[in-house]
Amino acid sequence: MGFYRRIKYFLVHTLKLSNKKAQELIDAGEVKINGIIITENCTITEDAEIRVNDKIARAKKEFVYMLFYKPAGFESTLNTRIEKNLSPFFKDYPDLAIAGRLDKQSEGLLLLSNDGKWIENLCNPKYDKEKEYIVTVDKNITDSFIEKFVNGVEIDGFVTKKCICEKIDQTTLRIILTEGKNRQIRKMCIVLGFNVLTLKRIRISTFFLSNLEEGNFMFTKI
Distance CA 10, CA 156 (A): 43
Provide the annotated active-site residues.
Answer: 103
- Tens of pLDDT, residue by residue over 98-122, are 998 999 999 999 999 999 889 988 8
Residue spans of the chain under pLDDT 50: 1-2
Q: What is the pLDDT of residue 145?
A: 98
Q: Which helix (H) or strand (E) holds 83?
A: none
Residue 4 confidence (pLDDT):
59
Backbone φ and ψ of 162, nearest 5°: -60, 145
CA–CA gap between residue 74 and residue 143 (Å, rounded) = 33
Strand partners, 107: 200
47-50 contact pairs (CB < 8 A, 24+): 47/1, 47/2, 47/115, 48/4, 50/7, 50/10
pTM (predicted TM-score):
0.82
Do the beta carbons of residue 167 and residue 147 sit within 8 Å? no
Domains assigned to the chain: 3-58 (3.10.290.10), 62-128+209-222 (3.30.70.580), 130-204 (3.30.70.1560)
